[in-house]
Amino acid sequence: MSRLVVVSNRVPLPDKHGNPPPGGLAVAVHAALRDQGGIWMGWSGRAVADTEDVRMTTREQGRIAYSLMDLTETDVEEYYNGFANRVLWPIFHGRVDLAEYARREMAGYFRVNRLFADQLVPMLRPDDTIWVHDYHLIPLAEELRQRGVRNRIGFFLHIPWPPADILFAMPVYEAVLSGLSAYDLVGFQTDYDMDNFIGCLRREGSGSPLGDGEVVAYGRQFRVGAFPIGMETEEFANLSRASVGKPGVRDLLRSLHGRRLIIGVDRLDYSKGIPNRIDAYERFLKRHPDFRGEVTFLQVTPKSRSDVPEYRAMQEAVAAQAGRVNGDNGAVDWTPIRYINQSLKRPVLAGLYRVAQVGFVTPLKDGMNLVAKEYVAAQDPADPGVLVLSRFAGAAREMVEALLINPYDIDATANALARALSMPLEERKERWSAMMDRLRAYDVHHWCRDYLGTLAKVERPSGPALPQAAPEAANPP
């Protein structure tokens, strides 16, 4: 069996006992690496002053080598904070208005991908399978092909892929498109994302589908597919059941004094639709006064990308919005919204999901959204809660039994909350059971095997190592 080489922006390191950190992706990829042996490479998270301080460190544990590369402060600012998170992230989430394109940052993004390739090539064996993750490293395969690498290389995009009119607003969109043509398998979260990608190739006249998942673009034939990422379903269900008695969960239940609980859990990001969600909850209280004082909305929102000014501003705005709603609607003995701007430990979150009557997941755009799946997996089969889910989350393609809403429609979302809190037990069980069966059948381990199994069937590259690239695509200035 060939080794597996995984490359991602950051590497979720195991603890001293070799256990991966909690979370579906880390668990599944670590399991695959243990089975096949191999390398997980990524940025160390360390930003140094200049290139003389850059180090490459490798930590071996069992059959896995964790290779971590330092970046300079300039690299981090241009590659990560700059092009990846100020251009690619907003564009891919449909927020052209928030994209801040700068040629210097774009150059830094491609420079760091070249650095990744330079460090990775000496580690590779001819029969290694390479699996690259997410938008930070789109050009990596093209850089590896330029260096003569003919191994199977797969790519998985964890975030959405935008329609052509959105992507083409980005000045270097063709370099991004051609970069993906250097992979052997490009995986997306949903069929919608895959169709958007193919639509971009067609609109540009640079590629077309051949059928059965095969695509030709920029002189190279490769495969595309939808691989909706799952979670560690049974493990999380067991964790939630065991966590109901945790002190943090017990304390919350005691403080609710019998009120029902709506829960939202999101990293602080404009794609998550948190302001719309708070507006919808306030509208729900006004339109359904019988629920006033009878329900509490817990919003857990850890800080995110605090180095990016837009995120700092959003943090202040959301906190102010929650405070205003509480001031306008609260009572001496009831706070409508409990807003927590910090992380909670995974067992506590699992327990909170289980005791919440409604999971409130309303992103404006999301590649998948595992919170929706975690909420369902955590439920008590005898008395499950109801998932209110944005139709713009990738999870909505699978979890059709949720109450699907348009997060821009505040009235309809408010009404969905009322419906969720009033839903009869038998209907709740029926909806939950259908979603849970699907989560069990296609968990994160199945996702990992499905993707790697598909990649293993791709014929190994032949002919020139580097495909015919678009003008300026292979080495942007």
CB 414 within 8 A of CB 403: no
Q: Which helix (H) or strand (E) holds 116?
A: helix 103-120
d(CA 220, CA 149): 15
Q: In the beta sheet, which residues pair with residue 387? A: 359
Dmax over CA atoms of the chain, in Å, equals: 74
Catalytic residue among 70, 266, 366, 443: 366
Q: Look at the alpha carbons of 76, 82, 475, 125 in this order and tell me if their dihedral is positive or negative.
A: positive
Tokens of 371: 């919170």
Active site annotation includes 158: yes
From the list 36, 5, 33, 2, the residue with the least C-alpha distance to 18 is: 33
Tokens for 114, please give them.
Answer: 């070249």
3-state class (DSSP) for residue 344: coil
In DSSP notation, 276-295 reads HHHHHHHHHHHH-GGGTTTE
Any idea which residue has 């009869």 for tokens?
Answer: 424
Residue 269 and residue 187: Cα distance in Å, rounded?
Answer: 24
Amino acid present at 189: Q
- Of 85, 86, 82, the closest CA to residue 72 belongs to 82
Backbone angles phi, psi at 319, to 5 degrees: -60, -40
Residue whose structure tokens are 């942007």:
476
Residue 296 φ/ψ, nearest 5 degrees:
-125, 140
Contact 151, 124 (CB under 8 A): yes
Cα–Cα distance for residue pair 258/284, rounded to 1 Å: 20
Q: What whole-number distance in Å separates Cα of residue 274 and Cα of residue 161?
A: 21
Residue 380 is encoded by which pair of tokens?
């008590």
- DSSP readout, 374-410? HHHHHS-TTS--EEEEETTBGGGGT-TTSEEE-TT-H
Name the CA dihedral angle for 253, 256, 257, 259, rounded to a multiple of 10 degrees. -110
Q: For residue 233, what are its two tokens?
A: 């379903």
Question: What gap in Å lies between CA 200 and CA 405, rounded to an integer?
Answer: 27
**Given 75, 158, 290, 307, the catalytic residue:** 158
Q: Is 366 a catalytic residue?
A: yes
Residues in CB range of 274: below 8 A, 6 or more apart: 264, 266, 268, 299, 301, 318
The residues assigned a catalytic role are: 158, 366
